Amino acid sequence: FPITLVGKPPMEDCYMGKATERIFLPLLRLDFPEIKDINLPMEGVFHNFALISIKKSYPGHAKKIIHGLWGKGQMTFAKLHIVVYDDVDVQNLSYTTWSAFNIFRKILRKLNQLRKHCNFFKECLRRR
């Protein structure tokens, strides 16, 4: 059986993982033409973590891509998919995480505002 026995990263399996990422990108685009680029970082050992940039067309588009990728072969094993807009370079890991965390921060702010409003309405209902 052909196998690769490696030591501490980065070793030859890292380069094979990057080659696999580049080879399968055009195949993924056949099913998902909105995918601009994909990065399977070394830190995720090429199957636990995926960064995907898409050309977003409608609300919930990222969710459609994630659910579709979870049905595609080895992508089913990915535990974390981060989908960003097409203007984010997913090959630049620090910029991509900065962009994703800023999006998360905006979402958390909105949720916090909603929570404050809900608490206000609950208090008003109690006073009746």
**pLDDT (tens digit per residue) in 70-110:** 888 888 888 888 899 999 999 998 888 888 888 888 888 88
Which domain, by its residues, includes 38? 12-90
**In contact, 45 and 16? CB cutoff 8 Å:** no
Q: Is residue 103 part of a domain?
A: no
The pLDDT tens digits of the residues spanning 39-48 come to: 988 877 777 8
Looking at the whole model, is its pTM more than 0.85?
no
- Name the least confident of 1-10, 47-56, 72-81, 104-113: 1-10
What type of residue is 14?
C
Residue 51 counted as domain residue: yes
Q: What is the CATH number of the domain that holds 36?
A: 3.40.1670.10
Instruction: Let me know if residue 114 belongs to a domain.
Output: no
Number of domains the chain is built from = 1
- Is 30 part of any domain? yes
What's phi and psi for 34, nearest 5 deg? -75, -10
3 within some domain: no
Residue 86 lies in a domain: yes
Structure tokens at 50: 């995926």
